[in-house]
Amino acid sequence: MAEGPIVPARRWQALVGWAVVLVVGGLLIATLRPHGAVARGASSSSLDVSKLQHPDQLDGHITVWGWNIAAKSLRSLTPPFQQRYPHVNVNVEMTGANVQTRFLLSLASGAGAPDVMQLQGYEAPRYIATGRLTDLTPVAAKYAKDFPASSWANCLHEGRVYAIPWDIGPCAVFYKPAIFAKYGINPKRIETWDDYIAAGQTIVQKSGGRTKMLPLSPGELQYQYELMLQQIGGQVFDDHGRVTINGQESRRVMGLIRRMLESGIGANVRAWGHDWMAGFGGDTIATYPGAVWLGGTLKDSVGKYGNSGTGWAVFPLPALDRGGRHASNLGGSVLAIPDQCPQKEAAWAFIEYTLCTREAQVAQYRSYDLFPAYLPALEDPFIREPDPFFGGQHARELFARTVKDIAVLNRTNDWVESMIYASQVFSAWAEERGDVGPMLDTLAQKLGQRLGREVAPPEGGR
């Protein structure tokens, strides 16, 4: 994968950049629109649906901001798009490290924004809250059933559509069959996370501590937390926007994470660091639970870190309970149209072709490993083809089967800030190993104060 500020296979890293963006961007967003409100931008004009009836008559020049692999993917689609819309010229700009701040500044000033903007899926509610994105409901509402509810929810506010999902990150466990075979582990018998912990302890014991089951850094527990929370339908914010990170589901998840930490199966290495990447090619780490896009990173690293001969396979994400949900999601992005865009119809035509057609979505997955959010694309024969990298396993199909079962997370416009703060609290808790309940109760109260949100009342009178 290309190096840069945010690579599709490195969506977790985006949180680091957001720590800086929050300082500038948080102030800008607060200035743009009061807490939670959405209104039309000052220079807005409605999208004229009638202009879309005649593709050969639609004209204009649109600029698209994206990054790295994502931008390259969109560039590859401009020729077939322009066959459909011959009078619409598209310029896809591969933006730099300050893309979020640049975009926020353009929204605040009312000028300088692109016609189409890529956003991380979990960031979308934050931008929608500015009131400076185009209401796409008249043209986009018809596609609601063509996307997973978990991704579509990030694009909505009060029932109106302000963005379209692009790619998603359904999760599973990437593992090394050779290590499993050496230590007598059958992945088909790993049904729950407790099974996973037990298998990991066997590997640690039989390897003399040389091989750990997974990377598990105390400084990055929010990723494992988010992954597991979705599996049992938990929430950080309830349906009313109240803080509920201390709910029963969070308590279960953090209790499970504590068992993982205390079991000794985790390697204390930070994601995307040298030791984490070096684990691809050796026997120090047996599995990497993660999103589908991690497969692209593994493929790109062949020949690096000494892993040219390492074999890989995938098994379903363990559930918290037997018979429970094996589905979760990490990452994914959307496309949106700033309200200041003067050529909304041409911008929408581009989004509709790239994100709402099977042809374009499959092409992006085949060439750039961007897993389609558009559900009809998951019915394409390409999804069912065996993947040589995974020993001929039907890995794409394994991920595709889980997509409709991914639970919705209520990502408010405060989601990014809440996760950055929660990560700090989780890290301190992991070092101190205090009780889960008091930690989460304190976290909920502090989040409520920081975000100006009500904390949901205790469940079951706890």
Per residue in 386-406, is it b (16+ CB within 10 Å) or e — as a string?
ebebbeebbbbebbbbbbeeb
DSSP state at residue 374 = S
Do 160 and 204 fall into the same domain? no
The sign of the CA dihedral 360, 362, 368, 369 is positive
DSSP state at residue 457 = P
Contact 290, 370 (CB under 8 A): no
Please state, in angstroms and rounded to a whole number, the distance separating the CA atoms of residues 363 and 368: 8
Q: Which of 322, 281, 275 is nearest to 301 (CA)?
A: 281
pLDDT at 97: 61
Contact 378, 358 (CB under 8 A): no
Taking the alpha carbons at both ends of the chain, their separation in whole angstroms is: 48
Q: Cβ–Cβ contacts within 10 Å for residue 218, how many?
A: 17
Q: Kindly report the pTM of this predicted structure.
A: 0.89
Contact 211, 179 (CB under 8 A): yes
Residue 403 lies in a domain: no
Do 187 and 157 fall into the same domain? no
Do 307 and 446 fall into the same domain? yes
Amino acid in position 404:
K
pLDDT at 306: 46
Tell me the residue range of the domain where 176 lies: 170-328+410-461
Residue 3 lies in a domain: no
Vertex 412 angle, CA 449 and 325, to 5°: 115
Q: Which of 67, 90, 83, 48 is nearest to 351 (CA)?
A: 90
Do 16 and 46 fall into the same domain? yes
Please state, in angstroms and rounded to a whole number, the distance separating the CA atoms of residues 253 and 39: 37
pLDDT tens for the chain, 462 residues: list them. Answer: 333 333 443 344 444 444 444 444 554 555 555 444 454 444 456 888 888 888 888 999 999 999 888 999 999 999 999 999 999 999 999 876 678 788 989 999 999 999 999 999 999 999 999 999 999 999 999 999 999 999 999 999 999 999 999 999 999 999 999 999 999 999 999 999 999 999 999 999 999 999 999 999 999 999 999 999 999 999 999 999 999 999 999 999 999 999 999 999 999 999 999 999 999 988 999 999 999 999 988 988 876 654 445 699 999 999 999 999 999 999 999 999 999 999 999 999 999 999 999 999 999 999 999 999 999 999 999 999 999 999 999 999 999 999 999 999 999 999 999 999 999 999 999 998 889 999 999 999 999 999 999 999 987 544
Vertex 174 angle, CA 304 and 16, to 5°: 70
Local structure of 192: helix, strand or coil: strand
Question: What CATH code is carried by the domain that includes residue 430?
Answer: 3.40.190.10
pLDDT at 460: 52
Do 13 and 152 fall into the same domain? yes
Residue 398 lies in a domain: no
Q: Is 71 left (phi over 0), alpha (psi -120 to 50) or beta?
A: alpha
Do 277 and 192 fall into the same domain? yes
Do 217 and 129 fall into the same domain? no
Residue 2 lies in a domain: no
Please state, in angstroms and rounded to a whole number, the distance separating the CA atoms of residues 257 and 265: 11
pLDDT at 14: 41
Residue 52 lies in a domain: yes
Number of domains in the chain: 2
